Amino acid sequence: MKNAIMSDLVILAALVLVVGLITAFLFWLNTRLGGWSPSRIEDNAHAISSLEQDHIGVRFDDESVVVATDHLSAFAFSDDHVRLGLVVAMGDRLVTRLVGPEEIGAITSHGDNQRLMLKDWTLPVIDLSLTPDQINVLKQFVEGHNKA
């Protein structure tokens, strides 16, 4: 019995190794072949359309849109300025979130960028390349909630 379990575990380990090697090969092949481009947020309209596409029925304030200088992230407030829409480039796709101030853990400096920490383990950190004025807008959004 013990031997049978051991041999099963050996077969399983060998299987994991083989599939692991296949995975590594496909990653290498995919990287070599290319054919995909890193995503970027082109402009304000792109940020708004991404947000409105993902958050049906929510309107965003066109004048509040900020696209980061590296075009890898953007934010905009909902029309009522109660929630913040976030757009982040990930691989060749965009990921969005619609959060209230209570869902933002902290805003910290990270090198030349600012770092937004979300209470969301599926998107815990967003690096933002923003001007000091732009980051202040975000800080006010969070601090306003904390004062309230």
Partner 1 sequence: MELPNPIYFAVPGFVALIIAEMIFARRTGRAQFQPRDTVASLVMGLGNMVSGVLLGGFALGWFIYLEQFAVLEIGYVWWAFALAFVLDDFVYYWAHRFAHTVRWWWADHVVHHSSQHYNLSTALRQPWLSPLTLKFIFFGSWLILIGFPPAMVVFVGALNLVYQFWIHTEAIEKTPKWFEAVMNTPSHHRVHHATNPRYLDRNYAGVFIVWDKMFGTFEPERDDEPCRYGIVKNLGTYNPIVISMHEWWGIVKDVSSAKSIREALGYWLGPPGWSPDGSRLSSKLIKQRWAEQKGDGSPEPAPTPQETAPAE
Say if residues 60 and 78 touch (Cβ distance below 8 Å): yes
Tokens of 141: 């959004």
23 sits near partner 1 (criterion: CB under 8 A): yes
**Closest distance between partner 1 and the C-beta of residue 67, in Å?**
18
- Please, which residue, 63 or 80, has the CB nearer to partner 1? 80
144 sits near partner 1 (criterion: CB under 8 A): no
Count of CB atoms situated within 10 Å of the CB of 36: 11
Report which of 73, 108, 100 is spatially closest to residue 88, judged by C-alpha positions: 73
**Closest distance between partner 1 and the C-beta of residue 132, in Å?**
25
- Dist. CA 147–CA 101, nearest whole Å: 11
**Closest distance between partner 1 and the C-beta of residue 77, in Å?**
14
Phi, psi dihedrals of residue 110, rounded to the nearest 5°? -145, 95
146 sits near partner 1 (criterion: CB under 8 A): no
**Closest distance between partner 1 and the C-beta of residue 86, in Å?**
10
The residue within the footprint of partner 1, chosen from 46, 61, 69, 96 (CB under 8 A), is 96
Residue 63 vs residues 67, 93, 96, 103: alpha-carbon distances, Å: 12, 24, 19, 23
Summarize as ranges the residues that interact with partner 1 (CB under 8 A).
8, 12, 15-16, 19-20, 22-23, 26-27, 29-31, 33-36, 53-58, 83, 88, 90-93, 95-100, 103, 120-124, 126
